[in-house]
Chains A and B, each alone.
Chain A
Amino acid sequence: MALACGLPLSGAADQRPASAYFVLDNGLQVLLQEKHDLPLTGMTLAIDLGTKDESDATSGYAHLLEHMLLFGAGAGTDSEARLAELRGHGVAHNAHTDHDLMTFEVSCPAAESAWALEQMRQAVFSGRLDPQLLEREKRVIGEEILQLRDDPAYLGRLMVMERLFAGHPYGRPVFGDGSAIQAATIEQLQAFCAPRLVVNRCALSLIGDFTLAAMEAEVRRNWGAMPAATAPAADVPVLGRLEKNSEHEIALDVQECHLFFGWRAPEFNHEQRLPFSLLTHILGSGLNPLLGGVLRGGRQQVERVDMSYLPMRSGGMALLHVILKPQDIRGVRNEVAAFLSRVGSFNFSREDVLPRERMYVLDYLESARNQMEYGDANFREGTLNLSLACSRFLLLNRAPVKGSYLDSVDKVSSNDLRRAAGKFLSGKKWVMLAIKPLPGKQQ
């Protein structure tokens, strides 16, 4: 497990950080890594509880529950006093919910690690849900939804995902159905979370300025006595291919036009996850995104191109976001379709062409490998980022671990990229959404 997160389970003999992975008797998975650059510790608790666990009647409950736990009183009686106490210890905390998981994240001064670990356990597992807080958080979630709906980048992503996974749990918005949230009671929320909010559905990851032995003892003392429970497995079917294209258009009060394309993509444990990840990086990220060059090479005025990939446990989404002029929507649509129809035979590497042609060819694969190596090292500098990624990995990964992440990146070939493109992009159905400026509002 730790190897796949890139954390060697060895000591400091080779100057690599010391790490440890273990499972408590109650089923809690734990990953620890020493990092002594600054006196900070990042810790994340991931819970196998998300939008996938909801029904029509409980739509939005997971996210609402996250708010209740994050802003609740924990084991105390006053939520504002609890928040003030956390700040007084230098603790920053937050939480997130997505379709698969809920995560609670804490960053604290290293000297407060043990105290913060105890606070995290109390916040999540105290079992107290305050009715007054419930009513307040319902209104706050209403504001959260409004805020996100004013943001074209977020709104586009949300609307594409809803349409790409229509009829599947991943097609439900994380914020849920407004009516289900408004009608929610404490009893209903408790009934929803009781079987799922259990320690054996959790993974805890701590990265920071501590010693392994001391932190392992602290984790065992603090979390070891929690009871395990029978946890129902969320049975979410893996998605097949999309049957037909769909194209949509809305208007917002914005100056620029945003065009989104969404495709179904490999799930987290799919063998082509890594090649597809490199492929989307090559197509829409980095110094010279391939699709940027393709679109700017045509007659369209494309301002920005960005492609991302979201692998989830039972499906994945590739999202292309283009900023352009409204009159170029049709042209860009056709250009993207035309390019993707031939990307399954594209030369991504200098090795794909004859030696005499190599000096004129851009090596997208080598560039992506190096950029991912940089990105990986850069990412690891943040203790909270790293703990979040590790705890998520522990719950999502089901594949056998073979070597480190960067070793696996190095093994991806141009053929792997073409296969991934052929299977998931070339000629595949998409969801397209255009967000245009309100009539008469564009400058």
Chain B
Amino acid sequence: MKTSLALHLVLLLAFLPAALNGGDEATWRLGREPRTFTLENGLSVILQQDGAAPITVAQLLVRGGDRDDPPGLGGLSYLVARLSLEISEPSVLRQLMDLGSSFSLSAGGDYSLVTIRSLSRNFAATLSVLAGMISEPLVSDLRVDGIKDLMRHLQKMEVDDPGSFMRKSLAGVFYDAAAYGATRFGDEASLARIGRKDIQSFLRSHYVAGNMTLVVISDLDEAEIRPLLASRLGGIAAGEKPTPRPLSLRRPLRPALEIERQTAQTLVSLTVPLPELNAKNFVLATLLETWLGKGIGSRLWPLRSRGSLTYGVNAEVQPNREAMLLSVSLKADARRSAEAQAELERLVREVSASGIAAAELAAAKAYTRADFWRENENRERRAATLAFLEGSGLSYRLGGSFAQRLDEIGLEEFNDFLRTWLAPARWFILRIGPATVERTEVTSDK
């Protein structure tokens, strides 16, 4: 009897953590399960050990993106993020070059992300240099003017790239303020308005440890990394997360927009808003995105394989915290773009009305599961995924439970999702290309 009780206790203890976690705490299936801890100043850390290569990637997430730019100050969050990475003096540049380390900035709607890449043997020295820059950025007129010039260049590059221009244009249509890419790099008026006080105010409110999360993937173990982070990043000022600025999705004033460009092809996109971003909806949206337009043989592939209307089709979800957008798009010879638009609409209407069959759903899940692993095979991408999940108000743990959550999606549930969110009344059509006298209105049954 005693033996049996002891055995039960051992078994209970062995399974207790999983039982207590419940819900999202499925078996971790994306490399080794990360460890989490918080530095004394409040900076939270997610650490995944990965011994496959002697390199370290750290993604420093700072909450507060262009959705938090105050009215009239579009570009402020990007400017501040860029300022915090300005190399202050030649000796710093010399040190980083010697180490062979590099860093880059990815500024988004909900957060900014600083990526630090280093050989693991040089990680401590790299972190020392960068921590100094990030914790005490030098705000001078000369530096600020230099970054504003860079932002003017980025504004132009954004317009020159059809995909970026599409996202920027859609953000302007769907959000009730300049957010989620509408004026990520500002405009002439906002850049002229942004002054040192605005910059310092944003630094004080957002660049505090409690508003940051660090994701580290390294072959170094926790015993080495933890004291290193405490000593190098412990100097960042403590402080709490600021409250994000209220923001909501708006209904477009018109169902379509045409932007003239003198290009050989016209980009045609069909966009719908998706439900609020939570774990369930994120997995549903990813499945939909992949099934519709990711890779060869997707649901929209017949636009290419039967109609020869385009070289490739694409679907992308912009998983913004306040509201996700799904866009399906193609680029077609400007002279055939009306036909391409009509076929795109026909296919999406068919998907919305007819849904998906069980066998096709199983295939879509198999492809999406493998694609999630492919996307996160490389540690830099994996760290960015975990940071995104945290920065979007989800949890990094969704990275490990994604495959299981995908398996749990039922046929009726997914078909309901398709019917509800792809309904023609929700469509917005954007065309970027040569002016045309052809129809641009949505021909759906509205």
A residues whose Cβ falls under 8 Å from a Cβ of B: 35, 37-40, 70-71, 79-80, 83-84, 86-94, 107-109, 136-137, 139-140, 142-144, 146-147, 149-150, 152, 253-256, 286-288, 301, 303-304, 323, 362-364, 366-371, 373-374, 377-378, 380-384, 438, 441, 443
- A154 → B minimal CB distance (Å): 12
Asked whether, in the complex, the Cβ of B102 is within 8 Å of the Cβ of A88, the reply is: no
Question: Across the interface, which residues of B come within 8 angstroms of A108, CB to CB?
Answer: 370
- In this assembly, does B169 line the interface, its C-beta being within 8 Å of a C-beta of chain A? no
Asked whether, in the complex, the Cβ of B308 is within 8 Å of the Cβ of A83, the reply is: no
Partner of A94, one of B52, B100, B296, B359: B296
Question: Across the interface, which residues of A come within 8 angstroms of B380, CB to CB?
Answer: 378
- In this assembly, does B367 line the interface, its C-beta being within 8 Å of a C-beta of chain A? yes
Question: Across the interface, which residues of A come within 8 angstroms of B100, CB to CB?
Answer: 366-371, 373-374
Asked whether, in the complex, the Cβ of A87 is within 8 Å of the Cβ of B366, the reply is: yes
Asked whether, in the complex, the Cβ of A40 is within 8 Å of the Cβ of B373, the reply is: yes
Measured CA separation A108–B230 after assembly (Å) = 40
Question: Across the interface, which residues of B come within 8 angstroms of A80, CB to CB?
Answer: 297, 301-302, 305
Asked whether, in the complex, the Cβ of A107 is within 8 Å of the Cβ of B332, the reply is: no
Asked whether, in the complex, the Cβ of B363 is within 8 Å of the Cβ of A84, the reply is: yes
Measured CA separation A256–B160 after assembly (Å) = 8
Asked whether, in the complex, the Cβ of A88 is within 8 Å of the Cβ of B333, the reply is: no
- B291 → A minimal CB distance (Å): 9
Interface size on B, residues (CB 8 A): 67
In addition to A38-B377, A150-B331, 7 A-B residue pairs with Cβ atoms within 8 Å of each other are: A37-B50, A84-B360, A84-B363, A90-B370, A140-B304, A147-B311, A381-B379
Asked whether, in the complex, the Cβ of B369 is within 8 Å of the Cβ of A90, the reply is: yes
Question: Across the interface, which residues of A come within 8 angstroms of B263, CB to CB?
Answer: 150, 253
Q: Which 7 A-B pairs have the closest CB atoms?
A: A370-B100, A83-B297, A90-B370, A88-B363, A255-B156, A139-B308, A377-B53
Asked whether, in the complex, the Cβ of B31 is within 8 Å of the Cβ of A38, the reply is: yes
Measured CA separation A366–B308 after assembly (Å) = 50
Partner of A150, one of B54, B162, B297, B374: B162
B residues whose Cβ falls under 8 Å from a Cβ of A: 30-31, 50, 52-55, 93-94, 96-102, 117-119, 122, 149-150, 153, 155-157, 159-160, 162, 261-265, 295-298, 301-302, 304-306, 308-311, 331-333, 359-360, 362-364, 366-367, 369-371, 373-374, 376-380
Asked whether, in the complex, the Cβ of B156 is within 8 Å of the Cβ of A256, the reply is: yes
Question: Across the interface, which residues of B come within 8 angstroms of A40, CB to CB?
Answer: 370, 373-374, 377
Question: Across the interface, which residues of B come within 8 angstroms of A137, CB to CB?
Answer: 308
What are 12 residue pairs bridging A and B, where the CB atoms are less than 8 Å apart in the complex? A40-B377, A84-B363, A91-B370, A109-B369, A136-B305, A136-B308, A143-B310, A146-B264, A256-B157, A323-B157, A362-B93, A380-B53
- B295 → A minimal CB distance (Å): 5
Question: Across the interface, which residues of B come within 8 angstroms of A109, CB to CB?
Answer: 366, 369-370, 373
Asked whether, in the complex, the Cβ of A92 is within 8 Å of the Cβ of B370, the reply is: yes
Question: Across the interface, which residues of B come within 8 angstroms of A35, CB to CB?
Answer: 52
Question: Across the interface, which residues of B come within 8 angstroms of A149, CB to CB?
Answer: 264
Asked whether, in the complex, the Cβ of B301 is within 8 Å of the Cβ of A83, the reply is: yes
Asked whether, in the complex, the Cβ of A92 is within 8 Å of the Cβ of B371, the reply is: yes
Supposing A38-B30, A87-B366 touch, asked if A254 and B305 sit within 8 A by C-beta, the answer is no
Supposing A152-B160, A253-B262 touch, asked if A286 and B117 sit within 8 A by C-beta, the answer is no
